[in-house]
């Protein structure tokens, strides 16, 4: 029942002068270090990468997100006495909007690597209405800071090695993929499915695998057919500002998918209406990953056993509404729905594992969300067409 988390990108509506200023703010930053590399541990929280940083002698937990710009909270900006550098309209992956201000962080440490004069955005990420609140993080390390070094992410060891730019990195066994960066330095690859091409963002702020649009699916279908293997209906993804709208996500099998010049065979692909094209952590967990912004190169070295499209999760997802009290069926996989027609998206859930949802606090909610990572079975009662029913679901391999 894990929900797909996607962090942020910026929608810019700027004059040419403001755009020039924005580009300058994104380019700002330096890495000062006496050694060529550091290796740090990371923690996986709800499928996202979390590391420890230090600002003004205080330690914070930040998400590592190649698809975002640096983010802190307004309270942290005030605490650090940072000066405003400008403002911008920010839109998350679900088209939810917020006005935000730019600040400059004079110095941010990752171990003994000093990242200086990097730009960040201050956003309200602690609203209790947001699932993001349950991650227990203080901010986001984005691509505009990451560009100052070469980042190697080892998903199996849960380690990140950061190299100073121009450091010689051992690439033995790695395949290389060219990428392009936008003005926020988000890496973007070319994807080719059965002769139809598009752009695809490398996004470690997504805990999903591969997300593509129905518009792109229609272009593929003009050239070739794909086999439908399953679908999912409901609010499927979450951004930093909230949940996405109800929609249908369809899963198709493709004989081949080209990521740059890297070939994936017998790949399951998810298509949906909302959001941009993303390649997330569930894909990269099958590889050791190196990103070099200076050379515009991404390097991947596959691990022994690769699962490119599925993840163990519940076929039904449960969440709470914005009133923070009412729990409901948020999404259902179609094959489960076909076998259980007495349950539907929007049904009210009144108890989970024999605990009344009316008794859930904010802490209970976050504990419930986090516990789903390792749960094998879930029992719940719900109301469907005025009838109170019970249902049991099991964690199993699902496409995503």
| Whether the Cβ atoms of residue 249 and residue 331 lie closer than 8 Å to each other | no
Tokens of 9: 């990108």
pLDDT at 3: 46
In a shared domain, residues 277 and 199:
yes
In a shared domain, residues 30 and 139:
yes
- Tokens 């580009």 appear where? 23
Q: Does residue 363 form part of some domain?
A: yes
pLDDT at 237: 78
Mean pLDDT of 90-103: 71
Q: How many CB atoms lie within 10 A of CB 4?
A: 27
Q: Does residue 112 form part of some domain?
A: yes
| Whether the Cβ atoms of residue 365 and residue 321 lie closer than 8 Å to each other | no
Report d(CA 357, CA 89) in Å as an integer: 36
**pLDDT higher at 346 or 375:** 346
The count of domains in the chain is: 3
Q: What is the pLDDT of residues 207-260, one digit of tens each?
A: 888 889 999 999 999 999 999 999 999 988 776 666 778 999 999 999 999 999
In a shared domain, residues 242 and 195:
yes
Q: Does residue 293 form part of some domain?
A: no
Tokens of 38: 């550091």
In a shared domain, residues 150 and 275:
no
Summary mean pLDDT of the chain: 88
Residue 7 has pLDDT above 60, yes or no: no
- CATH (domain of 135): 2.40.70.10
Query: In angstroms, what CA-CA distances link 288 with 77, 158, 283, 284, 291?
Result: 34, 10, 11, 7, 10
Q: What is the 3-state secondary structure (H, E, C) of the chain?
A: CCCEECCEEECCCCCHHHHHHHHHHHHCCEEECCCCEEEEECEEECCEEEEEEEECCEEEEEEECCCCCCEECHHHHHHCCCCEEEEEEEEECCCCEEEEEEEEEEEEEECCEEEEEEEEEECCCCCCCCHHHHHCCCEEECHHHHCCEEEEEECCCCEEEEEECCCCCCCCCCEEEECEECCCCCEEEEEEECCEEEEEEECCCCCCCEEEEHHHHHHHHHHCCCEEEEEEEECCEEECCEECCCEEEEEEEEEEEEECCEEEEEEEEEEECCCCCEECHHHHCCEEEEEECCCCEEEEEECCCCCCCEEEECCEEEEECCCCCCEEEEEEEHHHHHHCCCCCCCCEEEEECCEEHHHCCHHHHHHHHHHCCCCCEEEEEEEECCEEEEEEEECEEEEC
In a shared domain, residues 158 and 247:
no
Query: In angstroms, what CA-CA distances link 147 with 127, 164, 268?
Result: 30, 10, 31
Q: Does residue 393 form part of some domain?
A: yes
Q: What is the pLDDT of residues 18-62, one digit of tens each?
A: 677 788 888 999 999 999 999 999 999 988 999 999 999 999 999
**pLDDT higher at 134 or 89:** 134
Q: Does residue 295 form part of some domain?
A: no
Sequence-distant (≥ 6) Cβ neighbours of residue 57 within 8 angstroms = none
Q: Does residue 153 form part of some domain?
A: yes
Sequence-distant (≥ 6) Cβ neighbours of residue 329 within 8 angstroms = 234, 316, 317, 318, 343, 344, 345, 346, 347, 349, 382
- Tokens 């997504």 appear where? 206
- Which of 215-224, 255-264, 350-359, 363-372 has the least mean pLDDT? 363-372
In a shared domain, residues 378 and 250:
no
CA angle, residues 367, 364, 377, in degrees to nearest 5: 55
In a shared domain, residues 142 and 195:
no
Greatest Cα pair distance, the chain, in angstroms, is 67
In a shared domain, residues 156 and 190:
no
Residue 373 has pLDDT above 50, yes or no: yes
Q: Does residue 173 form part of some domain?
A: no
pLDDT at 24: 87
Report d(CA 130, CA 84) in Å as an integer: 25
In a shared domain, residues 41 and 158:
yes
In a shared domain, residues 262 and 328:
no
pLDDT at 311: 64
pLDDT-derived band at 293, boundaries 50, 70, 90: very high
Domain edge (last residue) among 107, 133, 164: 164
Report d(CA 372, CA 359) in Å as an integer: 19
- CATH (domain of 345): 2.30.42.10
Q: Does residue 53 form part of some domain?
A: yes
**Cα-based torsion angle of the residue sequence 124, 129, 133, 139 in order, rounded to the nearest 10 degrees:** -20
pLDDT at 152: 98
- Which of 73-82, 161-170, 271-280, 388-397 has the least mean pLDDT? 271-280
pLDDT at 18: 67
Report d(CA 267, CA 262) in Å as an integer: 13
Residue 275 has pLDDT above 80, yes or no: no
pLDDT at 11: 47
Mean pLDDT of 313-323: 90
The domain in which residue 189 lies consists of 183-282+300-310
Report d(CA 177, CA 266) in Å as an integer: 20
Environment class of residue 172 by beta-carbon count within 10 Å: exposed (0-12), middle (13-18) or buried (19+)? exposed
In a shared domain, residues 155 and 8:
yes
In a shared domain, residues 160 and 20:
yes
Residue 14 has pLDDT above 70, yes or no: no
pLDDT-derived band at 303, boundaries 50, 70, 90: confident
Residue 309 has pLDDT above 60, yes or no: no
């Amino acid at each position: 029942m894990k929900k797909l988390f996607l962090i942020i990108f910026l929608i810019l509506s700027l004059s040419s002068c403001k755009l020039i200023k924005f580009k300058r703010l994104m380019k700002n930053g330096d890495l000062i270090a006496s050694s060529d590399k550091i290796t740090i541990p990371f923690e996986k929280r709800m499928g996202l990468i979390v590391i420890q940083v230090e600002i003004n002698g205080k330690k914070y937990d930040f998400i590592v997100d190649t698809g975002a710009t640096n983010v802190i909270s307004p309270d942290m900006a005030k605490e650090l006495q940072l000066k405003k550098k400008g403002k911008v309209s920010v839109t998350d992956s679900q088209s939810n909007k917020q006005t935000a201000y730019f600040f400059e962080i004079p110095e941010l440490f990752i171990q003994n690597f000093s990242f200086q004069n990097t730009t960040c955005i201050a956003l309200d990420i602690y609203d209790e209405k947001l699932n993001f609140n349950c991650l227990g993080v203080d901010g986001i390390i984005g691509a505009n800071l990451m560009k100052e070094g070469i980042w190697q992410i080892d998903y199996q060891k849960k380690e990140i090695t950061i190299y100073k730019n121009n450091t010689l990195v051992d690439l033995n066994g790695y395949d290389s993929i060219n990428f392009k960066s936008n003005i926020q330095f988000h890496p973007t690859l070319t994807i080719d499915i059965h002769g139809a091409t598009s752009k695809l963002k490398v996004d470690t702020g997504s805990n999903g695998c591969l997300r593509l649009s129905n518009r792109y699916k229609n272009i593929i279908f003009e050239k070739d057919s794909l086999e439908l293997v399953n679908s999912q209906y409901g609010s499927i993804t979450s951004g930093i500002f909230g949940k996405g709208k109800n929609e249908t996500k369809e899963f198709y099998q493709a004989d081949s998918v080209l990521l740059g010049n890297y070939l994936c065979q017998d790949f399951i692909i998810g298509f949906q209406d909302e959001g941009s094209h993303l390649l997330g952590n569930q894909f990269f967990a099958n590889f050791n990953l190196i990103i070099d912004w200076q050379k515009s190169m991404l390097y991947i070295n596959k691990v022994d056993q690769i699962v490119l499209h599925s993840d163990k999760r519940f076929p039904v997802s449960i969440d709470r509404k914005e009133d923070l009290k009412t729990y409901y069926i948020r999404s259902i996989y179609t094959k489960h729905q076909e076998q259980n027609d007495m349950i539907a998206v929007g049904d009210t859930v009144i108890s989970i594992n024999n605990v009344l949802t009316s008794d859930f606090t904010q802490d209970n909610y976050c504990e419930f969300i986090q516990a789903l990572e390792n749960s094998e079975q879930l029992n719940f009662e719900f109301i469907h067409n005025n009838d109170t029913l019970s249902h049991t679901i099991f964690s199993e391999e699902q496409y995503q």
